[in-house]
Amino acid sequence: MPELSQRITGLNGGGSDGWDVFYRARAMVDAGEDVIELTIGEHDIRTDPSILNAMYDSALGGHTGYASVPGVKALRDEVAARVTAQSGVATGRDNLLITTGGQAALFAAHMAVCEPGDVAAFIDPYYATYPGVVRSAGAVPRPVPTRADVGFLPEHDALETACSGARSLLINTPNNPTGAVYPRTTLETIAEVMRARDMWLISDEVYDTQVWDGAHLSPRALPDMQDRTLVIGSMSKSHAMTGSRIGWVIGPEDAIAAMIDLATNTNYGVPGYIQDAALFALQSGTGLEVQVAAPFLRRRAIAERVLGGQNVVRAIPAQGAMYVMLDIRQTGLSGEAFANALLDAHRIAVMPGESFGASAAGHLRVAMTVSDDRFEAALHSLCRFAAGLAKAA
């Protein structure tokens, strides 16, 4: 066949993409083995039947044709009202585009602000698709290192260095994989760098309904940030609607108009019945969100209890999202070696920190996405396994 484009063959940046443990665990499950999977950010509950009924009613009612590309008006209005209430920033329908999940919003945002070859920075550790999404927009990924001992919060000097010559910075709070919720001071530091360097801030807030300590603050609400910030939102995590592929990007009207052109020429909008289901979910108040978030809050308490009973594995305190980060450096193993050994010895699958960037080396990301009993048992096994390794080290 003729050659494929460098843009697509280079998407993963070469080398291991860090997902080997995940795929190995999946193969074991397919072969009938009992593996406790604490890998991806997928809830152990499904989309609420009331949302599915709304989807069904909409489809049966005829909303199966092409839907409005920017998003149906009622949904855009509902999301805008919600964002206005949460952030205090006046937001209207023309400030947002409905997308096929947060992932498409991340792509649209980078397409909107980066020229081919521009540097697009993001905080390391990062959600695994960030470098690929930057490359797919033709930009050059540049991770901003952070340190475990400050809870992986970005610091001024590292930001200054990494943002030199960069067009955009992508942040994520509450954070996947670290569970960090950025305090106001961190966001103010970031905003200061964006203003001084005339950069775009892309703020991934897909976990905004899952905050356990403190409160979610959108950097779009900080002084002079509204016109240089694109916010990424999604119903995947908040309403356990991962498979429905619905999210949004929020920003200045001109930026949104440009991204609507992109949507028209790529996926041509989100199915109408999915949008109607999302509207139903948002209109039904915070009850569903609280219900979806509750298991993670409970399991976070389980993790604190189990990890508090030993001193080999150190937990990075999770203030939000559905993960806990564990520091396993006392075992002398890398995150990848530990995760592979744990899978072989105990049929427990966790993500190596290295999958999320160099700053998370020697760590593991544990998704709190199995029943409380299995989660607790898995953590006990993990800690015993680490203690055995540390003794031998």
Cβ count within 10 A of residue 90: 10
- For ligand PMP, the closer of residues 58 and 100 by Cβ is 100
d(CA 305, CA 285): 32
Footprint of ligand PMP on 92-111 (CB under 6 A): 101-103
Asked if residue 236 binds ligand PMP (CB under 6 A), the reply is: yes
**Alpha helix (H) residue ranges in the chain:** 6-9, 20-30, 49-60, 73-87, 101-113, 130-136, 156-163, 184-196, 253-265, 272-283, 287-308, 335-346, 372-392
Q: Judging by DSSP bridges, how do beta strands 140-144 and 119-123 pair with one another?
A: parallel
- For ligand PMP, the closer of residues 300 and 329 by Cβ is 300
Q: At its nearest, how many Å lie between ligand PMP and the CB of residue 203?
A: 11
- For ligand PMP, the closer of residues 134 and 312 by Cβ is 134
Longest dimension (CA), the chain: 65
Both tokens of residue 22? 């995940």
Site mask, ligand PMP, residues 243-282, x = CB under 6 A? Answer: ----x-----------------------------------
Q: At its nearest, how many Å lie between ligand PMP and the CB of residue 112?
A: 17
DSSP state of 145: -
Q: At its nearest, how many Å lie between ligand PMP and the CB of residue 129?
A: 7
Contact 23, 355 (CB under 8 A): no
Q: At its nearest, how many Å lie between ligand PMP and the CB of residue 43?
A: 11
C-alpha distance from residue 103 to each of 107, 230, 249, 257 (Å): 6, 13, 10, 19
The helix/strand/coil state of 48 is: coil
Terminal C-alpha separation, the chain: 51
Q: At its nearest, how many Å lie between ligand PMP and the CB of residue 105?
A: 7
| Tally of residues, the chain | 393
Asked if residue 127 binds ligand PMP (CB under 6 A), the reply is: yes
- For ligand PMP, the closer of residues 79 and 206 by Cβ is 206
Q: Which residues contact 98 (CB under 8 A, 6 or more apart)?
A: 70, 71, 72, 75, 76, 79, 246, 247, 248, 269, 270, 275
Q: At its nearest, how many Å lie between ligand PMP and the CB of residue 278?
A: 12
Site mask, ligand PMP, residues 26-65, x = CB under 6 A? Answer: ---------------x------------------------
Site mask, ligand PMP, residues 349-388, x = CB under 6 A? Answer: ----------------------------------------
Among 47, 242, 331, 355, binds ligand PMP (CB under 6 A): 242
Asked if residue 172 binds ligand PMP (CB under 6 A), the reply is: yes
Q: What is the DSSP string of 273-295?
A: HHHHHHHHHHHT-SHHHHHHHHH
Q: At its nearest, how many Å lie between ligand PMP and the CB of residue 206?
A: 5
Site mask, ligand PMP, residues 175-214, x = CB under 6 A? Answer: -x---------------------------x-x--------
- For ligand PMP, the closer of residues 180 and 191 by Cβ is 180
- For ligand PMP, the closer of residues 180 and 194 by Cβ is 180
Helices (H) and strands (E) in the chain, counts: 13, 12
Q: At its nearest, how many Å lie between ligand PMP and the CB of residue 346?
A: 25
**Which strands form 200-204's sheet, in the order they lie side by side?**
96-99, 247-250, 229-234, 200-204, 166-172, 119-123, 140-144
Q: Can you give the binding site for ligand PMP, defined by CB under 6 A?
A: 41, 101-103, 127, 172, 176, 204, 206, 234, 236, 242, 247
